Amino acid sequence: MNAILILALTNAVLATGMFAIVAACKSRIHNPAVLHWLWILVLLKLLTPPLWSPQWALLPAVEPAAGFSADTTVSRHTNPGVASDQQLSRQIKTQPFNPVQPEGFLDHPAPDRVSDSDARPDGWRRVVTASVSPLLLVVVVWGAGTVLLWGLSVWRISRLQRYLRFAQEAPVEVQQTTALLAELLGLRRCPRVWQVPGQVSPMLWAFVGPARIVVPSELFSELDGPARRTLLLHELVHYRRGDQWIRWLELLSLGL
């Protein structure tokens, strides 16, 4: 878990650096399509694993064997003056056994003895508090934010999906005008135009099924011919650029 969190934070730092570079060069990039793809690369960096990561985060934690300390293990392998295993065993056999215990040995409690303070409720509270690591808190807060964001997005999408039940297909002349504009843009497939009551923004909707252009009926009836074509052309450019899939990429990367 620690390695995964370190990799995720490293990837976020790298994506932040890419974001700073694109933001600094934004005024010098005069092609909107190039700038659009640069921002997409920043989003993709948030979802792809980092090419560089701290090596210490990938190393597993190795504990010394029971009965051996790290200092003893290192000194036996690095100090040529230390005796070998056979010499140590020979010295143990030749040295007499001394049953005399060190002074004050009985004053120390047994290692498996539980003190009265640990048996109390406040002692257990200290044990539980000590067991909650900062890493666990970060993971819990991070996961709660992701669930909250995606849950709110699901609620908004379902609410809009229920609202679109009142949508109706636009008249035939509107569909023909949209098809001509799509042909000018070089689109192989033209999305259908739907009209909805109420005050909503024109949008390109592609949640379930094929993509469709949704426009408010009142606004669309107030526009003249050139304004209608401009509105439809704007939504068709979103469709040609694939922005309906970019929105899913934004939602996924933002939640993670």
Q: What is the pLDDT of residues 161-214, one digit of tens each?
A: 888 888 899 999 999 999 999 999 999 899 999 999 988 889 999 887 789 999
Q: Please state, in angstroms and rounded to a whole number, the distance separating the CA atoms of residues 38 and 35.
A: 5
Q: Please state, in angstroms and rounded to a whole number, the distance separating the CA atoms of residues 192 and 178.
A: 8
Please give the sequence-ordered ranges of beta strands (E in DSSP) within 28-127, or none if there are none.
Answer: none
Assigned token pair, 169: 């297909």
Strand partners, 196: 216
Does residue 232 contact residue 177 with C-beta atoms inside 8 Å?
A: yes
Query: Phi and psi dihedrals of 169, rounded to 5?
Result: -65, 140
Confidence of residue 91 (pLDDT cuts 50, 70, 90): low
Q: Please state, in angstroms and rounded to a whole number, the distance separating the CA atoms of residues 200 and 198.
A: 6
**Whole-number Cα distances in Å, 122 to 112, 128, 252, 254:** 20, 10, 43, 41
Geometric angle at alpha carbon 1, from 49 and 146, rounded to 5°: 70
- pLDDT, one tens digit per residue, over 217-256 is 888 888 888 999 999 999 999 999 888 888 888 888 888 8
- Residue 107, pLDDT > 90, answer no
**With the CA atoms of 164, 166, 168 and 174 taken in that order, what torsion angle do they form, in degrees rounded to the nearest 10?**
-60
Q: What is the pTM of this model?
A: 0.58
Assigned token pair, 123: 């002692």
Strand partners, 28: none
End-to-end CA distance of the chain: 16
